[in-house]
């Protein structure tokens, strides 16, 4: 049996200038999806867009802060005009600064919830009409193992847990329209985010990874491609019976 293909479908990947988002964007482009790359700075997206175009794919970059409603609506409109109606939103943009609860300001709480939870709401709401029209869609939300609790980041853990509730609710509401919604919850993945954590804690990054790997059952830290492989499966035409799930990509079980 020949596997189904994506044809002319369009995905939007947020936070795709680097790290996990860039890997997901590249992987979905290899599978034939046109990619709208959203990140804070358009120039920062050049590497991702050039990689996709060099590989024979289609991509465009749009600068938008995912926590800003109007910016997200405008970005989706531009991508729809240039690449066609998006039916695969990948809510990947995220921030996770550390702060103890008593030092956590209301502003930081709102900022972290804004990027990690309001952003996915804005993008998904803007894309759903296109999915309904197509009678098909694949929503992928990048949560985190912090969703089950994060001693260093109560704001981030709360946002990532909220994203899982959002995902399951979408799966329930949209399933009958041929739309699936799933979350990926990565463990430690090598990226600027974990690089910044190492720096903040005063550790050399290689040593930080080595120590982290010791408590991961498969004995290594994750790479952005580990998440891209999982996203690729969840977005695939064959994954239509998988919805409302959280896939922990963490080198071991999480509870
Ligand atoms: P990263 O810092 O390398 O990349 C995040 C990207 O998001 C950056 O390009 C950044 O500019 C962009 N971004 C940040 N705020 C934005 C905003 N308001 N609007 C648009 N774009 C914005 O981080 P990463 O490790 O690639 O993380 C990607 C996702 O994976 C995040 O949601 C993160 O919470 C999640 N995650 C990462 C890890 C890890 O270990 N790296 C683990 C679990 C979950």
| pTM score, whole prediction | 0.98
| Ligand 1 atom 41: residue of nearest CA | 189
Q: What is the pLDDT of residue 6?
A: 77
Mean pLDDT on 15-35 = 98
Give the whole-number percent of the chain exceeding pLDDT 90: 95
DSSP string, 71-101: HHHHHHHHHHHHH--EEEEEE-------B-G
DSSP string, 147-204: GG--TTBHHHHHHHHHHHHHHHHHHHHHGGGTEEEEEEEE-SB-SHHHHHHHHHTT--
Q: pLDDT digits over 204-234, tens only? A: 999 999 999 999 999 999 999 999 999 999 9
Contact between residue 55 and residue 34 where contact means Cβ atoms under 8 Å apart: no
CATH number for region 10-187+222-248: 3.40.50.720
Say if ligand 1 is within 6 A of residue 247 CB: no
Distance 20 CA to ligand 1 centre (A): 7
Mean pLDDT on 53-58 = 98
CB atoms within 10 A of CB 209: 17
Say if ligand 1 is within 6 A of residue 37 CB: no
Say if ligand 1 is within 6 A of residue 192 CB: yes
Q: Is 208 designated active site?
A: no
Q: Which of 156, 208, 233, 248 is catalytic?
A: 156
Q: What is the pLDDT of residue 7?
A: 76
Domain boundaries, the chain: 10-187+222-248
CA–CA separation, 78 and 43 (whole Å): 17
Give the whole-number percent of the chain exceeding pLDDT 70: 98
| pLDDT above 70: residue 175 | yes
Structure tokens at 230: 């999982």
CA–CA separation, 95 and 131 (whole Å): 27
């Amino acid at each position: 049996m020949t596997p189904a293909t994506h044809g002319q479908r369009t995905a939007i990947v947020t936070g795709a200038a680097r790290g996990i988002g860039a890997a997901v964007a590249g992987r979905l482009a290899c599978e034939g999806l046109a990619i709208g790359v959203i990140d804070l700075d358009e120039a920062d997206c050049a590497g991702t867009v050039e990689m996709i175009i060099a590989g024979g794919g289609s991509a465009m970059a749009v600068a938008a802060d995912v926590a800003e409603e109007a910016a997200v609506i405008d970005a989706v409109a531009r991508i729809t005009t240039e690449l066609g109606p998006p039916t695969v939103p990948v809510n990947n943009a995220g921030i996770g600064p550390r702060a103890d609860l008593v030092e956590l300001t209301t502003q930081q709480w709102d900022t972290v919830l804004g990027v990690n939870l309001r952003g996915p709401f804005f993008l998904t709401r803007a894309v759903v009409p296109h999915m309904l029209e197509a009678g098909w869609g694949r929503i992928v939300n990048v949560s985190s193992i912090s969703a089950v609790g994060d001693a260093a980041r109560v704001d981030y853990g709360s946002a990532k847990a909220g994203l899982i509730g959002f995902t399951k609710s979408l799966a329930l509401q949209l399933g009958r329209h041929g739309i699936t919604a799933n979350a990926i919850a990565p463990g430690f993945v090598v990226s600027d985010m974990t690089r910044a954590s190492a720096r903040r804690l005063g550790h050399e990054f290689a040593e930080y990874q080595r120590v982290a790997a010791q408590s991961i059952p498969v004995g290594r830290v994750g790479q952005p491609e580990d998440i891209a492989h999982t996203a690729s499966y969840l977005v695939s035409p064959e994954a239509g019976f998988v919805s409302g799930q959280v896939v922990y990509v963490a080198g071991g079980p999480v509870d």
